[in-house]
């Protein structure tokens, strides 16, 4: 079976996404690239019910080279992200707070310095119908220089050098969205300034004798 290890990891990641509340039902999708091939979750199957054989393998043109199930309808977005970013793994979620923020804001400001782990202020890609080239283009632009983006009235996407890191980015983004929404419920959130963020970057750059990198404490 082609990309057997990667397909097994898709199933493990899907179960973790459901367990973490990042997806509901058959929503959301995941993919991982190795060379000129991409393993992706299929459409219409709950992510916590997948087996490796359920996950088709595609070439970079989107043609299925192995697998009986149809790939996720979001394949155009995944392939466009691979082409534009050079990343190796993508996690797409419909998590609650990400959808709330995406439906009400144009960006998620730096409510916490861990925003730096995603590249800074998280952009919201304009709305387009799922599975379309328009959505793929919007998300690709929102991801420029970032590890994650929100998708207006839709959800979120996170990328990484491997699936564990992409999933961790998706989990962090949902946490940041939750912090912002809950802060907004009791007042106007204070967001970090560029100067404050630069100071965090500088302190992390000091290495072992300075502070741990963002997220370390």
Whether residue 216 has pLDDT greater than 80: no
Q: What average pLDDT does range 35-60 have in this prediction?
A: 97
> What is the token pair recorded at 156?
């979120």
* 104 found inside a domain: yes
Residue 85 structural domain: 4-203
* 148 found inside a domain: yes
Instruction: Quick: pLDDT tens for 102-122.
Output: 999 999 999 999 999 999 999
| Residue 194 CB-density burial (10 A; 0-12 exposed, 13-18 middle, 19+ buried) | exposed
Q: CB pairs under 8 A, 24+ apart, for 192-196?
A: 192/110, 192/111, 192/112, 192/113, 192/115, 196/113
* 212 found inside a domain: no
Instruction: Quick: pLDDT tens for 5-32.
Output: 999 999 999 999 999 999 998 999 999 9
SS3 205: helix
Whether residue 210 has pLDDT greater than 90: no
pLDDT of residue 151: 98
Query: Looking at per-residue confidence, does 208 or 144 come out higher?
Result: 144
DSSP string, 133-173: HHHHHHHHHHTTT-SEEEETTTEEEEEESSHHHHHHHHHHH
pLDDT of residue 149: 98
Active site residues: 74
Instruction: Quick: pLDDT tens for 86-102.
Output: 999 999 999 999 999 99
pTM for the full model?
0.93
pLDDT of residue 119: 96
* 214 found inside a domain: no
The answer to whether 7 touches 63, Cβ cutoff 8 Å, is: no
* 183 found inside a domain: yes
- Domain total for the chain? 1
Whether residue 215 has pLDDT greater than 60: no
Instruction: Quick: pLDDT tens for 165-205.
Output: 999 999 999 999 999 999 999 999 999 999 999 999 998 88
* 140 found inside a domain: yes
**CATH code (residue 166):** 3.40.225.10
Whether residue 63 has pLDDT greater than 90: yes
Query: Looking at per-residue confidence, does 209 or 90 come out higher?
Result: 90
* 210 found inside a domain: no
* 18 found inside a domain: yes
């Amino acid at each position: 079976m082609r990309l057997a290890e990667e397909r097994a990891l898709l199933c493990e990641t899907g179960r973790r996404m459901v367990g973490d509340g990042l997806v509901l039902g058959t929503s959301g999708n995941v993919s991982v690239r190795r060379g000129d091939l991409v393993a992706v979750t299929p459409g219409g199957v709950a992510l916590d019910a997948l087996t490796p054989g359920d996950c088709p393998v595609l070439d970079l043109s989107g043609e299925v080279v192995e697998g009986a199930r149809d790939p996720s309808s979001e394949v155009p977005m995944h392939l466009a992200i691979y082409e534009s970013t050079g990343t190796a793994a993508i996690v797409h979620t419909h998590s609650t707070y990400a959808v709330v923020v995406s439906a009400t804001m144009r960006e998620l400001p730096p409510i916490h310095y861990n925003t730096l782990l995603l590249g800074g202020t998280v952009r919201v890609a304009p709305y387009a119908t799922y599975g379309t080239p328009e959505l793929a283009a919007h998300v690709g632009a929102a991801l420029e220089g970032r590890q994650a983006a929100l998708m207006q009235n839709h959800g979120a996407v996170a990328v990484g050098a491997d699936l564990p890191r992409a999933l961790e980015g998706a989990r962090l983004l949902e946490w940041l969205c939750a912090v912002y929404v809950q802060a907004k419920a009791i007042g106007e959130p204070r967001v970090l300034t560029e100067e404050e963020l630069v100071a965090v970057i500088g302190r992390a750059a000091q290495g072992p004798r300075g502070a741990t990198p963002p997220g370390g404490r």
